[in-house]
Amino acid sequence: MLTRKQIQLLEFIQKRMARDGVPPSFDEMKDALDLRSKSGIHRLVTALEERGFIRRLPHRARALEILRLPDALAGTDGDTPKAAAGFSPRVISNDRPGRPRGAMDIVDSAAVALPLMGRIAAGVPIEAISEISHHVSVPGTMLTGRDHHYALEVKGDSMIEAGINDGDVVVIREQDSAENGDIIVALVEGHEATLKRYRRRGAMIALEAANPAYETRILPEESVRVQGRLVGLIRSY
């Protein structure tokens, strides 16, 4: 039996993972539940983990995996998945020793092969890569709608506080617009590709890192082209 706060936290984590593909930070959880300190969030997360609803992935910042949902959330519609055998977390991990980077376990029989378009910078922008290097298989449940999706390997650590690490493979839904707070693939000045959080500030676009070591880049809107939004993450250990 979960408390009201535990259910609220689990629902908030699930909705953020459905929207962004990665869990919220502890500060975001604290604000969402209107708690005074992060210690309360730590206690709630520990309680949910002990009861088998979530799992913390070791040695990774902000890496949470939803294992199941309580009955109070399982039957809802919209973005909330059902807690049944077919539910697959949007963070797909492979913790078998000796497996090569990029290998993964298929957790959904309706797997889809996506083109891996190369590397995307989560740090200093790198030259945009548009050629397919190979394909990766992802669960069909990770994809949103019938839009085109593709995968990119993350290079850099500027998004670590969003749970995105160097070497992760991100799943991107191709689109040319974004809402404030979305994590996007941005093409800067026509040749530099980077993975950042999107914020519009009047006629300017802010590309925010999730690492205090990196500064937010403020650019004229005509210099930034949205090429897709993050919807999932594949991780190898």
Tell me the catalytic residues.
158, 196
* b (16+ CB within 10 A) / e for 36-56: eeeebbeebbebbeeeebbee
Cα angle for residues 61, 66, 226 (degrees, 5° grid): 65
